Amino acid sequence: MWTVLSVSGVSLARMTTYVLLPGAASDSRYWRLVVPLLRAHGHEVVTPDLPCEDDTAGFEEYADVVVDAVRGYSDLVVVAQSMAGFTAPIVATRVPVRRIVLVNAMVPVAGETGDQWWATSGSSAAMRANDVREGRDPNREFDPVEVFLHDVPEALWEEPLGQSGRPFETVWPLERWPDVATSAVVSAGDRLFPVGFQRELLRVRLGVEPVEIDGGHLPALANPDGLVRALVGIG
């Protein structure tokens, strides 16, 4: 969105800077369809590559990379895909952030590690129940195509990067969610984090009612237009 300022009776416009954080085993390429759409709306976009393959990097080091990437930018809206839900709030404690937008994201609480989150949030049980409802064998071998890419055009499929386990072993360092406006976008067809699970998690942990769009877990690839409409609508 454009924020309108008034200086000595003269109206000035300030563009939003969208800071797009990818999920696990991913990088800035994930956002390649979203970036030009946001820029077409007149916004700045920053897409830092997080150190997902670095075994010495936890969530605080991920946040270090983001903080370095946004130097010189203002009016920041940090958009966090999936695992980046652990990183975005840390960033918001270090630099001025106007809003956090979670996209099919993990939402941590104090004292929780990434590994613990799957059980403490109820995510694993919710995925299993959703598989049963939709006729998939909950005991099958994990298939990333079935879970992540089922609605992504095959031309956009890429080999994932390596993902270090280090962040998942590290306790989330914050005592609470930062005092920053937080919104969420959820995908109706997410097979990893079913939409009903996400709605409940966001309500209980953040008191947030999400915007729902079509698509699976990776809407920046499967439904970039819908995701951008949601982001711009949130502002």
pLDDT band at 143 (very low <50, low <70, confident <90, very high): very high
Tell me the whole-structure pTM to 2 decimals.
0.92
- One-letter amino acid for residue 31 of the chain: W
As a whole-number percent, the residues of the chain with pLDDT over 70 amount to: 94
Question: Averaged over 2-29, what is the pLDDT?
Answer: 69
pLDDT band at 97 (very low <50, low <70, confident <90, very high): very high
Task: Give the span between the Cα atoms of 38 and 19, in whole angstroms.
Answer: 11
Residue 69 has pLDDT above 70, yes or no: yes
Residue 5 has pLDDT above 60, yes or no: no
Residue 13 has pLDDT above 80, yes or no: no
Query: Angle at CA 44, nearest 5°, toward 101 and 19?
Result: 35
Average pLDDT, the chain: 93
Element (H, E) at 100: strand 99-103
Domain containing 107 — which CATH number?
3.40.50.1820
Which structural domain range is residue 95 located in? 2-234
Residue 130 has pLDDT above 80, yes or no: yes
Residue 235 has pLDDT above 90, yes or no: no
Question: Averaged over 193-219, what is the pLDDT?
Answer: 98
Residue 108 has pLDDT above 60, yes or no: yes
What confidence tens digit (pLDDT) does each residue in 26-57 have?
999 999 999 999 999 999 999 999 999 999 99
Residue 2 has pLDDT above 70, yes or no: no
Residue 1 has pLDDT above 90, yes or no: no
Q: Which of 165, 233, 234, 227 is nearest to 37 (CA)?
A: 227
What confidence tens digit (pLDDT) does each residue in 144-162 have?
999 999 999 999 998 889 9
Contact 87, 170 (CB under 8 A): no
pLDDT for the residue numbered 11? 32
pLDDT band at 9 (very low <50, low <70, confident <90, very high): very low
Find how far residue 74's CA is from the centre of its chain. Answer: 20
How many domains in the chain?
1
pLDDT for the residue numbered 159? 86
